[in-house]
Amino acid sequence: MAAAPLPSPSLAMAPAEAAPAVEILGVDKVFADGTRGLTPIDLTVAQGEFVSLIGPSGCGKSTLLSLIANLIQPTDGRLLWWRGGFDKVGQPGRRLSIVFQDATLMPWARVEGNVRLPLDLARMPKDEAAPRVDEALALVGLSSHGRLYPRQLSGGMRMRVSIARALVTEPDMLLMDEPFGALDEFTRNRLDSDLSELWRLRGFTTIFVTHSIYEAVFLSTRIVVMAAQPGRLFREIEIDEPFPRGDAFRTSAKFADYCRELSVALMEASLASGRGRDR
């Protein structure tokens, strides 16, 4: 994704002073069959942060993301989006988009039609939508691919289309559930670099689910480690490295130190899983 510089201000460098984008207040989730997805969780993500959720399988990462996306409701506790209810989400400054692991493109529609889908659903006139689709495709480096069909694209390109579709609504918050998990490591590294640059330039708050230690360290301003049985927050690690980040960071001793620290935290989270709450 060759992200073109944009004039929009980035809050990404000052998350500590930024207002909350989402507040998760004593939220837990018990599913209809009695499975406890999460024990009560308190977590605030500030505007402009890039927060990764990582932890053993079943620790509730996707459940937490689905709660933030309002796709499911908490059993107890509440969430605030930009200090308000979900009814205000979608208004300017409060736009939310989600990207799933599977690109889920419409096979019968061209790339540009797939990217335009959220604007079509919002009944935006085609002539108004067209420049936004072009811009979103440019952001992910697919300007010349708009007339192709999904079957003509590689897995990495399909995921770029999925990201363009999320960006076309100009989100203030982007939720990503293991978007690059199915890609080879080389493609994943490139998409990570491009996503990091897009995030830096556009300043959207990002909450990113991953199983990859390297990916979490490379992308995040903060990593939230979770433990399972029951799903809960276990530890937080701030990644104190300026942006833009590139291969120099990926190959640095500091990067290796963070990876080691996160790896130890994950081992401890794994050991703590199934042993009830630890904080």
Ligand X SMILES: Nc1ncnc2c1ncn2[C@@H]1O[C@H](COP(=O)(O)OP(=O)(O)OP(=O)(O)O)[C@@H](O)[C@H]1O
Residue 69 CB, shortest distance to ligand X, in Å, is: 12
Residue 146 CB, shortest distance to ligand X, in Å, is: 33
Residue closer to ligand X by CB (options 62, 205) is 62
Residue closer to ligand X by CB (options 61, 160) is 61
How does strand 173-177 pair with strand 205-209? parallel
Q: Is the dihedral of CA 256, 51, 44, 12 positive or negative?
A: positive
Instruction: Tell me which of 52, 63, 206, 273 binds ligand X, using CB under 6 A.
Output: 63
Instruction: Tell me which of 37, 40, 48, 74 binds ligand X, using CB under 6 A.
Output: 37
Closest CA to 67 of 40, 34, 105: 40
Does position 43 interact with ligand X (CB under 6 A)? The reply is: no
Residue 31 CB, shortest distance to ligand X, in Å, is: 3
Contacts of 60 (CB under 8 A, 6+ apart): 29, 37, 38, 226, 228, 230, 231, 232
Does position 251 interact with ligand X (CB under 6 A)? The reply is: no
Determine the size of the site formed for ligand X (CB under 6 A).
13
Measured CA to CA, the distance from residue 208 to residue 180 in angstroms comes to 10
Residue 214 CB, shortest distance to ligand X, in Å, is: 17
Does position 39 interact with ligand X (CB under 6 A)? The reply is: no
Strand partners, 27: 41
Residue 35 CB, shortest distance to ligand X, in Å, is: 4
Instruction: Tell me which of 115, 231, 265, 266 binds ligand X, using CB under 6 A.
Output: 231
- Of 56-64, 136-144, 186-194, 266-274, the window that binds ligand X (rule: CB under 6 A) is 56-64
Q: Which amino acid is at 46?
A: A
Query: Would you list the DSSP string of 191-254?
Result: HHHHHHHHHHHH--EEEEE-S-HHHHHHH-SEEEEEETTTTEEEEEEE----SS--HHHHTSHH
Instruction: Tell me which of 45, 59, 168, 195 binds ligand X, using CB under 6 A.
Output: 59
Residues making contact with ligand X (CB under 6 A): 31, 33, 35, 37, 55, 57-63, 231
